[in-house]
């Protein structure tokens, strides 16, 4: 049954890819004509895309979309956010319902090569980690033999966990829950020794415990989860725009350009900054945008560091340290090609 | 002989009426009953005070953020601050009065139905099923009469739940009647089409209907044919619901004795008139409980739209309780959602009972 389904889905996707390829060529023109960017986000993931009290979307993935809207349309507010579930996210992009997908989506080989999609970069390096009860006295994930683990069902988390324990010749007993909230409740009630989830969520889950100090996050990260925006394949103009908007925000952080000082930086003598902000050269025109594309994105949304601090950084409830998401020259993986 | 003095009737013995007798007859009539009563009292004693404490006495009602929730009880502040989101979803703030007016119109149609002898009650009801959806549709979507256009992807919360169930209910009833009549038709093509439709839609779960509408359909439609997700969900729900409704109504049609059909024919009535004037009024009356049951099920089934990324009231609650700014408010959120559903479902149930009492004209023993 499962095989039949996957064959069927494969066939459908293949149809969609061929159908999409013919018409998807000018997302840029479509977006400009519409005057609005349509962006697929999650139905609610803290720090990445979450509606607030007023129903406004906030988060790192949301800001990624806003950056693109600012670069293309000159106005970061001209974005329509479509909440999508994990199952329908790729179809929504393939069928043209959305212009870009920014929904904590892990960049994997299969997704990049067989779905007719392109990953336009990485806006967050995530990975799977562990939260343990302190009283267990465990200091490393390698000491977890025989532990009971609270997991959310149906996620790659479950598979990664099995792989990890098998590779280290350890056994575990899974305690499976349906939602992340139930998983925390189970962990808080002592139904399991450890809880596993993406590290981006562990701190937030820990803060939901009655006594957060009784639990700690282990240093091990057992999987690679590079998350990033996705666009349709065979539309290289649009692909370049999404990719380089993110790069521009990374370069801005590296060059010290922020939303607060962007106006002063227009007078900067630094050639890289001049090229980035469009006071010199024609980098914007090469993308098919105005010369102030990067200026708009940085001025209205901020550089990558600002986006990170605002949504997921140590001062937010998620309390995620920069770690792997720091710039390449500060010990992280965030590396943008030069603006030249 | 003394004069006859009328004596006042003696009151009935204490042991047969009044609260004491009620307690004797109902709570302590047998040893087993006595034990059960004591056990129930013990349960109430154990459970009720903590629940009341949590929900009311120690609960937090005042404030606007998590710091207000310092007491041991429930954090209703969370519900209070998010109430707008739970009610309107992403509907833009300055336009929310349009939703309020729609709620008001709905109430104006529904409340008279509960009041006995309200003037023009039936006509108000008919208007609620015909004109109201149009007015509310124009009001909510906008784009004409100087109203700003609000796209349906911004709809959410309670308002979306009500839109989905109201449209489902209003559209499914007539479709269901037609399908039920079609299934009993003597014309083979009509019958075959209706049977096929009913069995097809009844044979698949609603969740897969919604999933097909949301995920598969766009892949097959040509580019530019992309109609809105809400509309797709509404069509799916209506189709699904009319198949169920058809079977409920067919049950009523089968309960009508053959004599009624023959009497209608003997009066010289044609098919539509005999159905409309004689058969359907009796059949529909018989299956009121079944119809309302289906409506209540539909109302609750609308929460399934969250799997296609439409945020109904339950989904708005779910996406709010994960907010890291609020810790551990899941219970409050779910209780609020459950309460909203209970209010509407209980209301429908009461209405159906009132309707049955009003329309009972014979079959009752």
C-beta separation of A24 from A232 below 8 A: yes
Q: Taking 50 as the threshold, does the pLDDT of residue A114 lie above it?
A: yes
Domain of residue A274, residue span: 2-125+226-330
Q: Taking 80 as the threshold, does the pLDDT of residue A3 lie above it?
A: no
Plot region of A320 (φ>0 → left; ψ -120 to 50 → alpha; else → beta):
beta
C-beta separation of A55 from A116 below 8 A: no
In this predicted structure, what is the pLDDT of residue B120?
80
Q: What is the CATH number of the domain that holds B157?
A: 1.10.3720.10
Please tell me the total count of domains within chain A: 2
Does residue A339 lie in a domain region? no
Distance CA B111, CA B102 (A): 14
Looking at the structure, tell me whether residues A71 and A188 fall in a common domain: no
Average pLDDT over residues A325-333: 93
The pTM of this model reads 0.82
Q: Taking 60 as the threshold, does the pLDDT of residue A38 lie above it?
A: yes
Does residue A184 lie in a domain region? yes
Q: Taking 50 as the threshold, does the pLDDT of residue A20 lie above it?
A: no
Q: What percent of chain A has pLDDT over 90?
A: 46
Q: Taking 90 as the threshold, does the pLDDT of residue B35 lie above it?
A: yes
Q: Taking 60 as the threshold, does the pLDDT of residue A18 lie above it?
A: no
- Give Cα separations from A249 to A71, A208, A245 (angstroms): 11, 32, 6
Q: Which of A171, A194, A223 is the last residue of a domain?
A: A223
Q: B213 to chain A: nearest residue by CA? A: A88
Which of A80, A54, A53, A69 minimizes the C-alpha distance to B95?
A: A54
CB interface of B with A, residues 141-160, below 8 Å: 151, 153-154, 156
Q: B78 to chain A: nearest residue by CA? A: A53
Looking at the structure, tell me whether residues A113 and A250 fall in a common domain: yes
Distance CA B212, CA B269 (A): 44
Q: How many angstroms separate the CA of residue B163 from the nearest CA in chain A?
A: 19
Looking at the structure, tell me whether residues A93 and A238 fall in a common domain: yes
Distance CA A125, CA A332 (A): 10
Looking at the structure, tell me whether residues A106 and A136 fall in a common domain: no
Does residue B252 lie in a domain region? yes
For B224-260, the pLDDT digits (tens) are 566 678 888 888 899 999 999 999 999 999 999 999 9
Q: How many angstroms separate the CA of residue A297 from the nearest CA in chain B?
A: 24
Does residue B232 lie in a domain region? yes
Q: B218 to chain A: nearest residue by CA? A: A95
Residues of A in contact with B311 (CB under 8 A): 43, 51, 83
Domain of residue B80, residue span: 76-91+150-359
In this predicted structure, what is the pLDDT of residue A249?
94
Looking at the structure, tell me whether residues A144 and A114 fall in a common domain: no
Does residue B160 lie in a domain region? yes
CB burial readout B337-352, b (16+ within 10 A) else e: beebbeebbeebeebb
Distance CA B264, CA B270 (A): 8
Distance CA B264, CA B280 (A): 12
B307 pLDDT band (50/70/90 cuts)? Answer: confident
Q: Taking 90 as the threshold, does the pLDDT of residue A334 lie above it?
A: yes
The phi and psi torsions of A78 (rounded to 5 degrees) equal -85, 55
Mutate to test the interface with A, among B215, B229, B306, B310 (most CBs of A within 10 A): B215
Q: Taking 80 as the threshold, does the pLDDT of residue A16 lie above it?
A: no
The per-residue pLDDT of chain B, averaged, comes to: 85
Looking at the structure, tell me whether residues A175 and A208 fall in a common domain: yes
Looking at the structure, tell me whether residues A107 and A245 fall in a common domain: yes
Average pLDDT over residues A159-182: 87
For B81-111, the pLDDT digits (tens) are 888 888 888 888 888 888 888 888 888 888 8
Looking at the structure, tell me whether residues A100 and A232 fall in a common domain: yes
Within 10 angstroms of residue A243's Cβ, the number of other Cβ atoms is 21
Torsion of CA A263, A267, A271, A274, to 10 degrees: 40
Q: What is the CATH number of the domain that holds A192?
A: 3.40.190.10
Does residue B11 lie in a domain region? no
Does residue A337 lie in a domain region? no
Q: How many angstroms separate the CA of residue A178 from the nearest CA in chain B?
A: 13
Average pLDDT over residues B160-165: 90
Q: Which of A223, A256, A280 is the last residue of a domain?
A: A223
More confident position, B58 or B71: B58
Complex ipTM, two decimals?
0.77
C-beta separation of B34 from B28 below 8 A: yes
For B335-350, the pLDDT digits (tens) are 999 999 999 999 888 8
Looking at the structure, tell me whether residues A213 and A311 fall in a common domain: no
> Could you tell me the two tokens for B212?
């097909």
CB interface of B with A, residues 52-71, below 8 Å: none
Query: CB contact, 8 Å: A181 with chain B?
Result: yes
Query: CB contact, 8 Å: A208 with chain B?
Result: yes
Q: Taking 50 as the threshold, does the pLDDT of residue A8 lie above it?
A: no
Average pLDDT over residues A59-73: 95
Looking at the structure, tell me whether residues A112 and A255 fall in a common domain: yes
Does residue B238 lie in a domain region? yes
Q: How many angstroms separate the CA of residue A202 from the nearest CA in chain B?
A: 11
> Could you tell me the two tokens for A23?
């018409």
- Beta bridge pairs of residue A197: A129
Q: Taking 90 as the threshold, does the pLDDT of residue A119 lie above it?
A: yes
Average pLDDT over residues A272-300: 91
In this predicted structure, what is the pLDDT of residue B222?
67
HSE, CB side, 13 Å, CA atoms: give it for residue B144: 7
The DSSP code for A226 is E
In this predicted structure, what is the pLDDT of residue B306?
83
Angle between helices A180-188 and A199-207 (to 10 degrees): 50
Residues in Cβ contact with A49 at an 8 Å cutoff, skipping those fewer than 6 apart: A41, A42, A57, A58, A59, A61, A62, A81, A83, A102, A103, A104
In this predicted structure, what is the pLDDT of residue B197?
92
| B308 → closest Cβ in A44, A88, A180 | A88
In this predicted structure, what is the pLDDT of residue B224?
59
Distance CA A54, CA B76 (A): 17
Looking at the structure, tell me whether residues A164 and A262 fall in a common domain: no
Q: Which of A223, A239, A264 is the last residue of a domain?
A: A223
Does residue B50 lie in a domain region? no
The per-residue pLDDT of chain A, averaged, comes to: 86
Does residue A19 lie in a domain region? yes
Hey, are the CB atoms on A87 and B321 less than 8 Å from each other? no
Range scoring the smallest mean pLDDT among A9-18, A178-187, B33-42, B281-290: A9-18
- Strands across the sheet containing A37-41: A79-83, A37-41, A100-101, A230-232, A117-119
Looking at the structure, tell me whether residues A100 and A113 fall in a common domain: yes
Please tell me the total count of domains within chain B: 1
Distance CA B234, CA B114 (A): 28
């Amino acid at each position: 049954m499962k095989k039949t389904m996957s064959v069927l889905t494969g066939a459908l996707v293949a149809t969609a890819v061929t159908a999409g390829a013919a018409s998807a060529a000018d997302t840029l023109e479509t977006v400009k004509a519409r005057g609005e960017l349509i962006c697929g986000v999650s139905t609610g993931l803290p720090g990445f895309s979450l509606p607030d009290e007023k129903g406004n979307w906030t988060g790192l993935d949301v800001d990624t979309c806003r950056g693109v809207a600012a670069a293309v349309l000159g106005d970061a507010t001209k974005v329509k956010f479509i909440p999508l579930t994990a199952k329908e996210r790729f179809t929504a992009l393939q069928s043209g319902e959305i212009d870009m997908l920014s929904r904590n989506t892990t960049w994997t080989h299969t997704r990049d090569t067989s779905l007719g999609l392109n990953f336009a970069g990485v806006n967050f390096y995530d990975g799977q980690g562990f939260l343990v009860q302190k009283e267990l006295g465990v200091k490393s994930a390698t000491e977890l033999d025989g532990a009971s683990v609270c997991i959310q069902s149906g996620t790659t988390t479950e598979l990664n966990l099995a792989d990890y324990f098998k590779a280290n010749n350890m056994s575990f007993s899974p305690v499976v829950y349906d939602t992340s909230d139930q998983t925390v409740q189970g962990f808080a009630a002592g139904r399991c020794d450890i809880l596993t989830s993406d590290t981006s969520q562990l701190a937030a889950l820990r803060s939901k415990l009655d006594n957060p100090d009784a639990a700690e996050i282990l240093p091990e990260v057992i999987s690679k989860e590079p998350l990033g925006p996705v666009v349709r394949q065979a539309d290289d103009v649009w692909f370049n725009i999404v990719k380089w908007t993110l790069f521009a925000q990374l370069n801005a952080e590296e060059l010290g350009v922020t939303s607060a000082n962007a106006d002063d930086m227009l007078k900067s003598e630094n050639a890289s900054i001049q090229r980035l902000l469009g006071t010199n050269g024609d980098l914007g025109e090469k993308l098919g945008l105005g010369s102030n594309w990067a200026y708009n994105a940085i001025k209205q949304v901020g550089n990558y560091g600002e986006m990170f601090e605002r949504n997921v950084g140590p001062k937010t409830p998620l309390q995620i340290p920069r770690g792997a998401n720091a710039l390449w020259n500060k010990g992280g993986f965030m590396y943008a090609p030069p603006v030249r | 002989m003394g004069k006859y003095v009328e004596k006042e009737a003696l009151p009935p013995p204490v042991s047969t009426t009044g609260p004491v007798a009620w307690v004797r007859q109902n709570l302590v009539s047998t040893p087993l009953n006595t034990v059960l009563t004591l056990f129930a009292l013990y349960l109430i004693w154990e459970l009720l005070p903590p629940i009341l404490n949590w929900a009311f006495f120690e609960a937090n009602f005042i404030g606007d953020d998590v710091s207000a929730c310092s007491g041991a009880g429930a954090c209703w502040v969370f519900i209070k601050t998010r109430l707008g989101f739970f009610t309107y979803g992403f509907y833009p703030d300055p336009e929310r009065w349009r939703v309020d007016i729609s709620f008001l119109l709905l109430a104006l149609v529904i409340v008279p139905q509960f009041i006995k002898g309200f003037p023009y009650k039936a006509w108000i009801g008919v208007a609620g099923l015909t004109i109201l959806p149009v007015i509310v549709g124009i009001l909510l979507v906008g784009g004409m009469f100087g109203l700003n256009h609000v796209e349906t992807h911004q709809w959410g919360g309670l308002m979306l739940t009500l839109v989905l169930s109201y449209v489902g209910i209003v559209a499914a009833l007539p479709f269901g009647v037609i399908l039920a009549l079609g299934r009993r038709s003597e014309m083979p093509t009509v019958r075959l089409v209706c049977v096929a439709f009913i069995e097809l839609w009844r044979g698949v779960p609603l969740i897969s209907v919604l999933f097909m509408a949301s995920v598969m359909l766009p892949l097959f439609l040509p580019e530019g044919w992309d109609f809105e997700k809400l509309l797709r969900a509404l069509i799916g729900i209506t189709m699904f619901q009319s198949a169920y409704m058809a079977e409920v109504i067919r049950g009523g049609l089968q309960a009508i004795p053959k004599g009624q059909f023959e009497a209608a024919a003997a009066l010289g009535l044609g098919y539509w008139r005999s159905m409309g004037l004689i058969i359907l009024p009796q059949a529909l009356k018989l299956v009121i409980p079944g119809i309302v049951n289906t409506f209540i099920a539909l109302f609750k089934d609308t929460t399934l739209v969250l799997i296609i990324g439409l945020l109904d009231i339950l989904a708005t609650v779910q996406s709010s309780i994960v907010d890291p700014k609020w810790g551990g408010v899941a219970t409050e959120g779910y209780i609020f959602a459950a309460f909203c559903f209970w209010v509407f479902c209980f209301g429908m149930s009461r209405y159906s009972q009132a309707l049955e009492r009003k329309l009972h004209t014979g079959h009752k023993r």
